[in-house]
Amino acid sequence: MNAPTSPDLRAALRRNGYAFVTADVMRGLLDAATLDDWSAFAASWNELGDDAYLAARGRHRRRRHAVFAAGADGTIHHEPHQPHYQSLAYNALQGDIERWFEPVAPAIADGASLQRILAFCRASFGALAPEVRQWRIEAHQFRIEARADEAGEPTPEGVHRDGVDYVLVLLVARENIERGTTTIHAPDGRELGQFTLARPFDAALVDDHRVFHGVTPVIPKDPGQAAHRDVLVVTFKAG
């Protein structure tokens, strides 16, 4: 499946190591009006399982996970379910362990919305690294919940790198949420930019070799109502 990409977006990633994309632009790049399964895709965040590894450290979020592979011809294959692994060098909170999460539901993993997003990433990141013949792709559905007595932590490990080549963070929904600003940092800690993913399809793209990223905690606008932030995170790594 082919997906359009933007020369301006690639130029920003080459120049700065990151790019923020507004919903209006991202919808056009994904041809979102043709994604007839988007409602079901977004609703699938209501079916995420608990992140038991994080709960063991006194924090809370929900997630599902899937792995794909993309070859030089652009074909994207859904791989068998497998664990997510990061070394301590990249995740001081949960590194050096295999973490098994509930899989992304097959209808979602193979559906038009996620496949279009993956194809867009392959086109964008592949243009930046044309020498890569094979990509390992991981897709993470995250729901961060906030309560009156406890802020939600989109990045409990703090400002970090993921240990991959490229990252896409795409907002799917925000319900009764304030804050949650994505920040980009140089290796020496200097802040290079910030952007709040506020509308569905707002996105951040990151060159993980060059910059670090994090997200500020989220709090409820109305403490008496349920509050959550839903994002899709897609990582691409050569090999």
Give φ, ψ of 228 to 5 degrees. Answer: -155, 160
Helix locations, 17-69, DSSP H: 23-30, 38-43, 52-55
CA–CA dist 142, 202 (Å, integer): 15
Q: Enter the pTM of the model.
A: 0.89
% the chain with pLDDT above 90: 72
pLDDT tens column, 135-160: 999 999 999 988 888 888 777 778 98
In this predicted structure, the answer to whether residue 195 has a pLDDT above a threshold of 80 is: yes
Whether residue 196 lies inside any domain: the answer is yes
Whether residue 2 lies inside any domain: the answer is no
Instruction: Count the domains in the chain.
Output: 1
pLDDT at 6: 77
Whether residue 1 lies inside any domain: the answer is no
DSSP state letters, 217-233: -EEESSTTS-EEEEEEE
Whether 3 contacts 32, CB under 8 Å: no
Q: Please report, for residues 90, 148, 158, 186, 206, the alpha-carbon distance to residue 181 in angstroms, rounded to integers and kept in the order given.
A: 21, 19, 13, 17, 15
Whether residue 33 lies inside any domain: the answer is yes
Whether residue 134 lies inside any domain: the answer is yes
CA–CA dist 43, 69 (Å, integer): 25
The whole-number average pLDDT for the span 13-27 is 95
Full domain range(s) for residue 109? 7-238
Q: Please report, for residues 13, 18, 57, 146, 226, the alpha-carbon distance to residue 168 in angstroms, rounded to integers and kept in the order given.
A: 12, 10, 26, 23, 26
Bridge partners, residue 168, by sequence: 205, 234
Whether residue 152 lies inside any domain: the answer is yes
In this predicted structure, the answer to whether residue 60 has a pLDDT above a threshold of 70 is: no
Question: What is residue 32's DSSP assignment?
Answer: G
- CATH code of the domain in which 122 resides: 2.60.120.620
Bridge partners, residue 231, by sequence: 142, 171
Whether residue 164 lies inside any domain: the answer is yes
Q: Give, in degrees to the nearest 5, the angle at Cα 183 between 179 and 189.
A: 135
